[in-house]
Amino acid sequence: MTKEKKVLFGVDSSDFAREAVAAAANLFKENENFKMTIFHGIPEPDPSHIFEPSLSPEEVERHLQLWSQERQKIIRLAKEAAIGAGFDPERVNTSYEEKCKDPVISMINLANKEDFAAIALARWGARTLAQKVMGHVTYKLINMAYHLPLWMIDPRIASQNVLVTVVGAGISRRVVDHTIRYFSHLKESKFTLFHVIPPVAPELHTSSYWDIIRDLSGEEQQENMAQRMEAYLEKAKSIAKEGKARLISAGIPEENVLVKFQRQQQGIARDILQELDEGHHGILLLGRKGVKDISQFGMGSKANKLLHYARVLMMCLVN
């Protein structure tokens, strides 16, 4: 029996959020085991608009009811957008929370309680679309929901071709797992397992590594660095080879699965951005962290750059 694939989709009042729901619905409408729950946290109304001294208690209550109904309309419109994109109405549910103080905390709690496999939301929110910067809720969720895969969706998805970033670390196997679980129904799409080869193995940037080789001679250090780089690259190649075989076993035609390794040119993040553009990929999957632990962001530095600069795609950040 195939396990259900449950995703929690947070929305706000923006058209962009509804369009992102529709884009996701269009992408997953043929995946029969995919289910979506649309969530909206209803904040308390602004007292200055309701609690005027001249209003009677009955009038205040009526205003509160109207406020709640108007906010619930946001969820209904989002569900209609999903159904309008061809998504099965039986596979889309809705949920809301009254007097929601923090939608990020509410979504994380709901995802944990009901065992959602991922949280999805629009890249930009109602307050940030005009500035074209990542929404506050999106950014906060990235930094707090470190245990869950997160999907950030720009509804102007360029294509259904999938770029799967690979590094020489175990996180890439989880990225491949996520790709197969959620995207292997896209039989006509191109899947590219992509690795940018760094100048040196990433672990060489850690202080612990230099503590290990500190007492070695210069020649021994160079030899050790070369060995580490070779081992790192071999692991990346092994993960990519394994990933290709698994994608083919999942039903993706072999001619639609490509493994691409290239040496770093502009920088790893910028090279991935260039590949997204030149390869016409509309879906990007990457690990939250690679070999290095960038605790400042709760994710790797390359992931952080891609989250800020990649456009016109669906980005899946895998824990």
CB 25 within 8 A of CB 36: yes
Say if residue 116's pLDDT is above 80. Answer: yes
Question: Which class in CATH covers the domain with range 1-155?
Answer: alpha beta
The pLDDT assigned to 203 comes to: 65
pLDDT tens digits, 6-26? 999 999 988 989 999 999 999
Q: What's the pLDDT at 226?
A: 82
CA atoms within 13 A on the CB side of 125: 17
Q: Give the pLDDT mean for 222-248.
A: 90
pLDDT of residue 94: 95
pLDDT in tens, 267-316: 888 999 999 999 999 999 998 765 444 443 344 566 777 777 777 789 99
Domain with CATH 3.40.50.620 in the chain: 1-155, 157-319
Residue type, 47: P
Domain 157-319 has CATH 3.40.50.620: yes
What CA–CA distance (Å, rounded) separates 311 from 284?
A: 10
Q: What is the pLDDT of residues 76-97, one digit of tens each?
A: 999 999 999 999 999 999 998 9
Q: What is the mean pLDDT of residues 139-166?
A: 88
Of 69-73, 153-157, 304-308, which range is least confident?
304-308
Higher-pLDDT residue of 121 and 139 is 121
Determine which of 42-56, 62-76, 145-159, 266-280 has the lowest per-residue pLDDT on average: 42-56
User: pLDDT confidence of 126, banded at 50, 70, 90?
Assistant: low
pLDDT at 293: 45
Residue-wise pLDDT for 23-48, tens only, equals 999 999 999 899 999 999 888 776 66
pTM value is: 0.86
CA-wise closest residue to 128 among 145, 161, 109, 152: 152
Q: What is the pLDDT of residue 300?
A: 54
Which are the contacts of 205, defined by CB distance < 8 A and separation ≥ 6? 292
Average pLDDT, the chain: 84
Q: What share of the chain is helix, strand, coil (3-state, %, to 5)?
A: 45, 20, 35
123 or 295, which is more confident? 123
Can you name the residues that pair with 93 across neighbouring β-strands? Answer: 37
For the cut 50, the answer to whether the pLDDT of residue 1 exceeds it is no
Residue 65's pLDDT band (boundaries 50, 70, 90)? confident
Lowest mean pLDDT among 87-101, 111-125, 195-209, 243-257: 195-209
Per-residue pLDDT at 210 exceeds 80 = no
Query: What residues have CB less than 8 Å from 233, skipping those under 6 apart?
Result: 168, 197, 201
Q: What pLDDT shows up at residue 44?
A: 75
